[in-house]
Amino acid sequence: MKKRKLTYKNQYRLLIAIIAIITIVSYRMAISKTIAMYHLKNDLVERSSEIQDAPQRIAELKTRIGEFESLISGNPNDTTETRNKIMNHASRFCNDNNLVLSGFLPPVDVDRGTFILETNILEIEGGFSKILKLIYNLEKEWKPGKVVSVSFFTKEDLRTKTLKLYAHVYIQKVKTRA
């Protein structure tokens, strides 16, 4: 019996086929798992950066909860306390900035079932930028409630025949039922 020899062309084809089979098997056994682990590592690194930010996010959420709780008062009879607080802050600011607190309209209480929505209305006379400063202080610094609306209007002063700028500032506070 004669041994059959492979030609160089067939040996080359056989070598290519064996390399292809080894590549597929090694990909299935090792490389695909390595790539999957690489993606898993990237996901875990991303999650760990989120976890490192968690204390800061928790602190931010606690401050927001505190802000919401400060808007909700447990005592439904603190209307005069809220009004006095608003009146003191507004009158002090008006005296310091040449504004006139021309009116403090009676509060409007709206019963919403589980809570009462109290709206206090200030009437301020003065310059536009100074009124805006007062509104900013009411919203961001003093926080006696939430400034929900501001209405600017002009009136003619009959004595001096000039127009004066006024603003109604609406401040709401949520009160829970006792």
Q: What pLDDT does 76 receive?
A: 45
Least confident segment among 31-45, 102-116, 119-133: 102-116
Q: Is residue 67 assigned to a domain?
A: no
Q: Is residue 150 assigned to a domain?
A: yes
Q: CA 122 to CA 89: how far, in whole Å?
A: 12
By residue count, the chain amounts to 178
Q: CA 48 to CA 61: how far, in whole Å?
A: 20
Q: SS3 string of 141-167?
A: HHCCCEEEEEEEEEEEECCCCEEEEEE
pLDDT value at 3 more than 70? no
Q: Is residue 61 assigned to a domain?
A: no
pLDDT tens digits, residue range 122-175? Answer: 999 999 999 999 999 988 888 778 899 999 999 998 899 899 999 999 998 887
Q: Is residue 59 assigned to a domain?
A: no
Q: Are residues 109 and 165 in the same domain?
A: yes
* Number of domains forming the structure of the chain: 2
Give the number of other Cβ atoms within 10 Å of residue 5's Cβ.
8
| Domain extent at residue 47 | 8-52
